[in-house]
Amino acid sequence: MVQLHEEKDRLNLAPKKFNMWLLIFTSFMLFAAWTSAFIVYTGGKGHGLNVILPGVFKYSTAVIIVSSIMLILAKRAAKGLQFAKQRLYLWLTFALGCIFCVLQVYGWYIMTYKMQVYFLNSNAAISFVYVLTAAHLVHIIAGLIVLLSVLRASYRNIPQVMNLYKMEMASIFWHFLDIIWIYLYVFLLLNQN
């Protein structure tokens, strides 16, 4: 009877997982469109980025990669019924996500106040840096909300099928954000001169 109930829960969750994949595909297309627009703008008018990215973006890249590793460990702990470890790794993932946000904002601070590279300027290519990183930051904030939801559920006595489902959904979204950031960072590095 319990197996039948768990199988029914899995079937009820399938459409929600499909919706997550739709969100990821839509977000991917958004970033692809912006990077394509950047290429068209810089190639068509001969404008390059002509700015060196702040070094702090390198550190934020390392932070988000480590956060994905922490989430993998949280998922593994959840599968092994090690709920205290699951919560620990979820908290570490959340903390690293917050650190990523702070580092991104600090990167904007460096660009704006130390490098004197403003969002609005005569070279729209530089504005793309702000748009791409801000859009990614909004997605990171959404990911942090998802992580908080998973954390909240981990402190409750929910069925294991729901716990694993929430972990899987959070993992899919967070790892997507990790991949998108690496893509954006490498893309901007290759176009900074």
**pLDDT, tens digit, 9 for 90 and up, residues 69-91:** 999 999 999 999 898 999 999 99
Give the model confidence (pLDDT) of 30-79 as tens digits: 888 888 877 777 775 556 666 778 888 899 999 999 999 999 999 999 99
Helices 124-154 and 83-109: angle between axes, nearest 10 degrees: 160
Tokens of 143: 């990911």
